[in-house]
Amino acid sequence: MNDRPEALGLLEFWAMTDLVTPMALRTVATLRIADLLAGGPRDLKDLAVAASCDADALGRVLRYLAARGIFVALADDRFELGGTARWMLDDDPSAARRWLDQDGYGATMDRAHLDLLGIVRRGGPVEAANKTSLDATAAASYDQLMAANTRNEAPLLVRAIDWGRFEHIVDVGGGTGVQLGAILTAFPQTRGTLVELPASVEAAERQLAGTGLTGRCDILAGNLFDLELPAADAFLLRMLLHSFEDEQAVEALSRCRRALRPGGAIFVAEAADTHQEAFTTMDLIVLVLGHGRERSLTQYDELAAAAGLRRVAIHTPPAGPRALEYTA
């Protein structure tokens, strides 16, 4: 972590400062240009009508991105998908288009970063942009994006831990239930409880019903800090504690410990500080959104100790968050 990186050349440095490409990509993602071109090449004017935008301005954006290999500019003002543009199809499992969509929660995150200088000077944003502060539309977009991310990583966390040793698993702050659903599907002898804010309940019910788990998983709606958690053999806090400052994180762990059955375990799944590029990126994201911080292994162990817990294992999937296993 202390290795001195090789110095960038001037052109590489300026490339890191570029705002044109990120905004051009967000523009075509929001307009769903990739989906409009999925059936084959289209004329610029026809494309602009379909996207409800100005043809001249759209053409300039598309030519810019074609020069960078995203789209292909053909003769007579026609365009088609380049190989890279296929990441921006709406049904791509990466959900890249939805993350870039300026009508969704991704735009909330983007706008928050524009105030980074002010945040550094003040120590935080003027207004938080976390889930509890979102309106219904933004909260639904947030849930969709988190579900897409979790869907790609959930099987890895399922395989990293022997969940079959637990009869009842509680997923605290588990969004729409994608991760918990993956665990229950893989271990049919277990049952689960999803703890989430009321705004996410309807989507969670649809998710669980769609996977046939309604009878094995119930939903406890409300704020973690206002609820009495059910007694359980395991608690999973996936990408949750980084949303809290230390005092709240200790309280969250303490609430889980008090409901933990003897011999049970609490799993804290968060970004690992062993991957500094991803770790520091997420740390800046939670900074600009106005809540929490990323933490090192030592820092999580200290929070757990303050809640009366000790670490007994580390589970590291090939991708996604690392899971720290704690017990009382």
- Structural domains of the chain in order of their starting residue, each with its CATH number: 10-97 (1.10.10.10), 151-327 (3.40.50.150)
pLDDT at 5: 74
116-144 confidence digits (pLDDT tens): 999 999 999 998 887 777 888 888 898 99
In one-letter notation, the amino acid at residue 239 is M
Helix (H) or strand (E) segment spanning residue 49: helix 44-51
245-268 confidence digits (pLDDT tens): 999 999 999 999 999 999 999 999
Half-sphere exposure at residue 141, Cβ-oriented, CA atoms within 13 angstroms: 19
Q: The tokens of 8 are what?
A: 């960038």
Query: What span, in angstroms and rounded, lies between the C-alpha atoms of 324 and 32?
Result: 39
Q: Which of 213, 241, 232, 259 is nearest to 304 (CA)?
A: 241
Q: The tokens of 93 are what?
A: 């499992």
Q: Which of 182, 166, 163 is nearest to 174 (CA)?
A: 182
CB within 8 Å of 25: residues ≥ 6 apart: 65, 70, 88, 100
Residue 168 sits at the vertex; the CA angle it makes with 159 and 293, to the nearest 5 degrees, is: 65
- The answer to whether residues 270 and 321 touch, using CB atoms and an 8 Å cutoff, is yes
Q: How many Å from the N-terminal Cα to the C-terminal Cα in the chain?
A: 32
Percent helix, percent strand, percent coil in the chain, to nearest 5: 50, 15, 30
pLDDT at 138: 82
pTM: 0.90
Query: What span, in angstroms and rounded, lies between the C-alpha atoms of 222 and 200?
Result: 10
- The answer to whether residues 264 and 236 touch, using CB atoms and an 8 Å cutoff, is no
Residues noted as catalytic: 242
pLDDT at 3: 66
CB within 8 Å of 297: residues ≥ 6 apart: 272, 273, 314, 324
Q: Using 50 as the pLDDT threshold, list the residues of the chain that sit under it.
A: 1
Strands 71-74 and 168-172: unpaired
